[in-house]
Amino acid sequence: MPIVTPYQNSRRFTSTIGAGTGTGAAYAIAATAFTNDAGAAATAFPASYNYYNLYLNGILQTADTSSVTTASISIPGGDVLDPGTPVIVQFVVS
């Protein structure tokens, strides 16, 4: 049986698709292009988290839509979206 931590919280980061670079499968948005819950510029995404959710234009995306590191989030094909599309990444942490 998995161990469930008694306390969980989340860290949210917001940006827009236009902040990303690259094309096709190499499209990514740097963590430094996001703002955090306090409205301050982010320096990195959490290194340790239980899971994360990606919202594009307010719509929750499936797990195969992205991958994340502490430095960036990759959204293959994201370069074809409107540059003003809001991006929200929510990390659930213990």
One digit per residue, pLDDT tens: the chain, 94 residues? 677 667 788 999 999 999 999 998 899 999 999 999 999 999 999 999 999 999 999 999 998 999 999 999 999 999 999 999 999 999 999 8
Using DSSP bridges, classify how beta strands 51-56 and 28-30 pair: parallel, antiparallel or unpaired. Answer: unpaired
pLDDT on residue 1: 65
Give the C-alpha separation, 10 to 51, whole Å: 10
In this prediction, residue 9 carries a pLDDT of 87
CA atoms within 13 A on the CB side of 40: 5
Query: For residue 6, what pLDDT is reported?
Result: 76
What is the model's pTM? 0.88
d(CA 68, CA 28): 9
**Residue-range domain boundaries for the chain:** 9-93
pLDDT on residue 54: 97
